[in-house]
Amino acid sequence: MSDEEQVIDLLDRATASVPAALLEAPHAAIRRRVRRRRAAGWTAAAAAALLIIAGFAVARPGPAAQMPAAPGAAPAATSAQEAPGVPWLGARIDRTGTRLTVYAVPLLGKCVAERDPNRDDLVLDDDRVTVQLDGIYTGCADDTQVTSRTFTLPQALGDRFVVDGRSPRGQPFLFSDKDVPDFAAGGWSEQKAVWLNSGAAVLQLYLTRPGGPDLIFTPARWQPEPDGRVATPDHTLTLGDLQIDVYNRPGQQAAGWFSSHNSDVRFMLTVAGNPLEKDAFDALLRGMTWA
Amino acid sequence: MEDFEAYVSAAWPRLLRSAWLLTHDWHRAEDLVQTVLARAYGRWPRIKDGAPDAYLRAMLASTYLSWWRRRWRGELPTEQLPEQPAGGGELEGVELRHLLADALARLPRQQRAVLMLRFHGDFTEADTARALGLRIGTVKSHTSRALAALRHDPQLRALLSEGAGR
């Protein structure tokens, strides 16, 4: 076999088996993306048309004389300028509803730098809480570092939306600690969060307690397909108001569930290090405080 | 467009394999293929009468490279368990994939794209150059460097000889 034939053979062998859950084409998700592209296309066309009209209006001489700018005055900010700061990906609200943590978007090969927390912005309205994070992206060796900021709200968040002031049309996800076990009550303490992989938009939280077992907890945005792309669990537990999917695979167990107030966030919990027996993993889950 | 959906059903696994060779992660691969199919939908009447697989593989490679130039916008689902190495000492697909993923991750992205198109998509050097907007000489040098890197990878070397011995 030539080098090239060997590589062809290697690539074929390595990709021969696609995970069962991904074998079927997600038609609904593709259709959604097609619709989003069309909507974005119309928006862009409308924006371009508006810019042309606006440019024409600016180019025409105005009827009134222009006021001369004061010497040394800074140019006025325009809406076309990009808002300063970095966008954030998701937010977490604690059990009291008053401690809000937002996580800056992870970028491949980059980290957030030059942050001045005093320049972060928090605006409280009746129907929404708007957060804006200061900082810029710069190249870095470890792009799994998480940049986050925790704010204390004067009143519980309640039903208010949480939006990114820098990209208000974005769709950051929000999850509540009420959707996850009370790890502190179980004796676990939370280590600093990291991103699961380079550039991956999945938070990973490491939880440790004396005597173990240590846990890995990953919340991530997830939009389930109507045709059920969630992997079939080995069994399901009902804990509190939540349906917990339990996966027992050789060498690893995992529990997965959706946030209760919407289905946009999927949580996953695994045991770090040596796996437990199947029954012991179920017992561990049942022993946690879910509410 | 029923024929588009029928094509997607049939082509999905093979496009996913091509995308995995670029991203070495099944979920990023899925995100990449979905993105490319959504873009291809509007062009389907033009694509369908040619060689749709080749067209879409070229789109996979160029989209992947443009994502890298901007940023990865993917959203990763997490309910899939990480793949576990197969037991029994035999080098199964999962282990092989882990080794290959490591080796691919060490290649520059353009070399990875060239490798996918040339050796998985069966593109000629000229077609690869056209798809990626490169000169043929650049495609040749990327190919040669990528092959050399794989050949010199100690773990892959054993696999390559194992394949050759079949």
ipTM: 0.80
* B34 with A26: Cβ contact below 8 A: yes
Q: Are A119 and A206 in contact (CB under 8 A)?
A: no
CA nearest A253 in B: which residue? Answer: B81
A291 touches chain B (CB under 8 A): no
Judged by CB atoms within 8 Å, which residues 24-43 of B form the interface with A?
A: 25-26, 30, 34-35, 37-39, 41-42
pLDDT tens, residue by residue, B88-108: 333 456 677 778 888 888 888
Average pLDDT taken over every residue of chain B: 79
Domain definitions of chain A by residue range: 82-178, 180-291
Residue-level pLDDT at A156: 93
Instruction: Specify the higher pLDDT residue, A231 or A70.
Output: A231
pLDDT at res. B74: 38
Above 50 in pLDDT, residue A151? yes
- Mean pLDDT score, A150-178: 84
Tokens representing residue A280 in the block: 């012991």
Considering only the beta carbons, identify the residue of A3, A33, A250 that sits closest to B87: A250
- Give B-chain residues touching A197 at CB under 8 angstroms: 25, 76
Q: Does A11 contact chain B (CB < 8 Å)? A: yes
Q: What is the pLDDT of residue A44?
A: 43
pLDDT confidence of A261, banded at 50, 70, 90?
low
CA distance B156 to B78: 29
Question: CA dihedral in degrees (A60, A63, A64, A67; nearest 10)?
Answer: 10
Closest approach of chain A CAs to the CA of B19, in angstroms?
Answer: 10
Structure tokens at B23: 């991203």
Determine the distance in angstroms separating the CA of B5 from the nearest CA of chain A, rounded to an integer: 7
- Tell me whether residue A128 is exposed, middle or buried, using C-beta atoms within 10 angstroms of its C-beta: 0 to 12, 13 to 18, 19 or more: middle
Instruction: State residue A222's pLDDT score.
Output: 66
CB < 8 Å to B34, chain A = 26, 29-30, 33
Of residues A73 and A172, the one with the higher pLDDT is A172
Report whether CATH 1.20.140.160 matches the domain B1-72+90-166. yes
Q: At a CB cut-off of 8 Å and minimum separation 6, what does A288 contact?
A: A181, A182, A183, A185, A186, A239
What pLDDT, on a 0 to 100 scale, did the predictor assign at position B22? Answer: 92
| Cα distance between residue B5 and residue A178, in whole Å | 40
Tell me the percentage of chain A whose pLDDT exceeds 90.
27
B7 pLDDT more than 50: yes
**A128 CB contacts (<8 Å, ≥6 apart)?**
A160, A161, A162, A163
Task: Inspect the interface and report whether the beta carbons of A22 and B71 lie closer than 8 Å.
Answer: no
Which range has the worst mean pLDDT, A30-44, A187-201, A207-221, B49-63? A30-44
* The pair of three-digit structure tokens given for residue A285, joined into one six-digit string: 């889950």
- The amino acid that residue A125 corresponds to is D
Q: Tell me if B115 and A7 make a contact (CB, 8 A cut-off).
A: yes
Judged by a CB distance cut-off of 8 A, whether residue A112 touches chain B is no
Distance CA A95, CA A176 (A): 7
Q: Is B147 an interface residue toward A (CB < 8 Å)?
A: yes
Q: Mean per-residue pLDDT for A204-231?
A: 75
Instruction: List, in sequence order, every beta strand (DSSP E) within A153-287.
Output: 161-164, 173-176, 189-190, 194-195, 203-208, 215-221, 235-239, 242-249, 252-258, 265-271
Structure tokens at A217: 């907890």
For β-strands A99-104 and A88-93, DSSP reports them as: antiparallel
Residue A17: band (very low, low, confident or very high) from pLDDT cuts 50, 70, 90: confident
| Whether the Cβ atoms of residue A86 and residue A135 lie closer than 8 Å to each other | yes
Quote the minimal CA–CA distance from A234 to chain B in Å.
12
Nearest neighbour of A6 by CB, restricted to B17, B100, B160 = B160
Residue type (1 letter), A150: T
